[in-house]
Structure 1
Amino acid sequence: MVDSFAREPFKGNPAGVCLLDESLSNDLMQSIAVEVNLSETAFVQDQGDSYSIRYFSPIMEIPLCGHATLASAKILFQQDADLNEIKFQTSSGLELRALRNGEKVSLKFPNYGIIDREVPKSLLDAMGIKKINNSGYNHENLELMIELEDANELRNLKPDFAVMKASIDDISGVVVTAKSNQPDLDFESRYFWPWSGGDEDPVTGATHTFLTGYWSKKFGKTKLRAFQCSARTGILEVEVLNDQQILITGNARIVLKGEMTI
């Protein structure tokens, strides 16, 4: 178990990581994810020149998970002091690269975009949102984005998750974001996903595959500091490398090791 995007234990986003000696069935991986009961559990297997990686929430398989990728890389780097770069292959066909960055890990992820999409009023009502700056949709992750004017409003949201889930049925989650009012940060976000994982995710790497480019254009700079203002909180250093790739850098703390008997 690894707390990703955190310097200290019990902050950031906890991920389960299972290092496999042999392949497991989908049903067994799903059962393990239910047993571990974290937002995601990653299943990692050495393929020689790369590692396969799959992500399961307690509800379903997830195509991409940033914090579980960071957690997996942290473990592999700790196991091999001479290892400086890792190539991961996801089940959806993505190639991800993890780089040793001192005590931190840097992840090369796709630079995704968003398209315009209106948010149903019933969903906004369920979240307690009266007015928005902008909204959009990322089709790779099936996620809605809502931009608010005020970061304080973002931090104080108290959604009704059952009503949210009933208000729309073709998304996996909603990320709400705002320009930060803290001097050492650029933007903040919270991610709600009752459709595919849990109520609120503590720190979400996958949403930053499109939030990075979105806020980079608004600020007119390529390097930004992002803050996920969930109860556990998390810091992400993000950078637009080019039109195809971004870099997400963060700390991680391994908090639990063990063996599972199946």
Structure 2
Amino acid sequence: MKIPIYQVDAFTKNVFGGNPAAICLLPHWLDDNTLLNIAKENNLAETAYLVQKEDILEIRWFMPYAEIDLCGHATLASAYIIFNVIQPLLQEVTFSSKSGLLKAKRGSDKTITIDLPSRPPKKTPIPREVSDAFRTTPLEAFAARDLVLVFPSEQEIIDAAPQLEPLKDLPYLCTIITTKGTNVDFVSRVFDANGPNPEDPVTGSAHASLVPFWAERLQKTSLEAHQLSERGGILYCELVKDRVYLSGHCAHYLTGTITI
């Protein structure tokens, strides 16, 4: 069986920036073990799988060790391939996912906008493991699918070098550190203590919690965000009721074929 595969860097204009995602176009769903093994072989933060069902594309996202319920950057990358390779005249696409229907629209400035469900985090006690990992205690902690930690300054976000072992048993997918930005509305970094890549370069799904959090704090619904990883990424964000809209650029890195 031959499967078309693309690799796209999301939330960046340049190859080698943003967050890389693999996109695989399937004629039908394969068994989960095969999907997981392909993701392991790709060894990227996420591999997105697409299956066309009438007017909707079904989408699933696999990390190298598990399927996840929502992935923003791989959805943006999938929309990029649809708009630029598969159906160049298409202006909008709808994905059916474990997190409901997600729409992606082509922008006039070569951006793509995706909409995700808003996941406002709730205040929670700061876990002891956080202080062990970061060797300091953040100002506050909030939780949704991910743990959101608020730090005092952007420089502390840049300088953070956590030991991730203490975070492995926390009941969250990722640990997010964030603060108000110096030149943008807010900045963040995202760590995955259980994944093959300890720091995720640009995490769209994390912004499903960060955007409503900062929208409330800053009293504005349109925000610009930077994820301050080594590769870096820029996200243009908007909160509309219970949806988070993320806009960004993509860079097409690879086109190939998987043979299994």
Q: Give the shorter-chain TM-score range.
A: over 0.9
Letter of the 1:257 partner, please give it: T
Alignment correspondent of 1:256: 254
Is the counterpart of residue 234 in structure 1 residue 241 in structure 2? no
Q: Which runs of 5+ in 2 are unaligned?
A: 1-6
How far apart are residue 81 of structure 1 and its match? 2.2
Alignment correspondent of 1:86: 93
- Aligned pairs for 1:160-171 (under 5 A) are 160-165=163-168, 168-171=169-172
Deviation digits for residues 210-241 of structure 1, max 9, x if unmatched? 11111111111111100000010000000011
Alignment correspondent of 2:205: 206
> Identity over the aligned pairs, expressed in percent?
34
- The ranges of structure 1 where at least 4 consecutive aligned residues each deviate by more than 6 angstroms after the TM superposition are none
Tell me, what secondary structure is at the counterpart of 2:254? Answer: coil
Alignment correspondent of 2:4: none
How far apart are residue 194 of structure 1 and its match? 1.6
Letter of the 2:203 partner, please give it: T
How far apart are residue 82 of structure 1 and its match? 1.7
Alignment correspondent of 1:57: 63
Aligned-CA RMSD value: 1.2
Alignment correspondent of 1:32: 38
Q: 2:18 touches 2:201 (CA, 8 Å); kept in 1?
A: yes
Q: How many pairs align? A: 252
Alignment correspondent of 1:181: 182
Alignment correspondent of 2:142: 136
What CA distance in whole angstroms lies between the structure 1 residues aligned with 2:197 and 2:127?
Answer: 21
What CA distance in whole angstroms lies between the structure 2 residues aligned with 1:56 and 1:224?
Answer: 29
Q: Which runs of 5+ in 1 are unaligned?
A: none
Q: 1:128 touches 1:157 (CA, 8 Å); kept in 2?
A: no
Q: 2:69 touches 2:99 (CA, 8 Å); kept in 1?
A: no
Letter of the 1:82 partner, please give it: L
Letter of the 2:176 partner, please give it: V
Is the counterpart of residue 224 in structure 1 residue 223 in structure 2? yes
Tell me, what secondary structure is at the counterpart of 2:55? Answer: coil
Tell me, what secondary structure is at the counterpart of 2:259? Answer: coil
Higher strand share: 2
TM-score normalized by structure 1?
A: 0.93
How far apart are residue 117 of structure 1 and its match? 1.0
Letter of the 2:116 partner, please give it: F
What CA distance in whole angstroms lies between the structure 1 residues aligned with 2:88 and 2:160?
Answer: 43
Q: 1:60 touches 1:196 (CA, 8 Å); kept in 2?
A: no
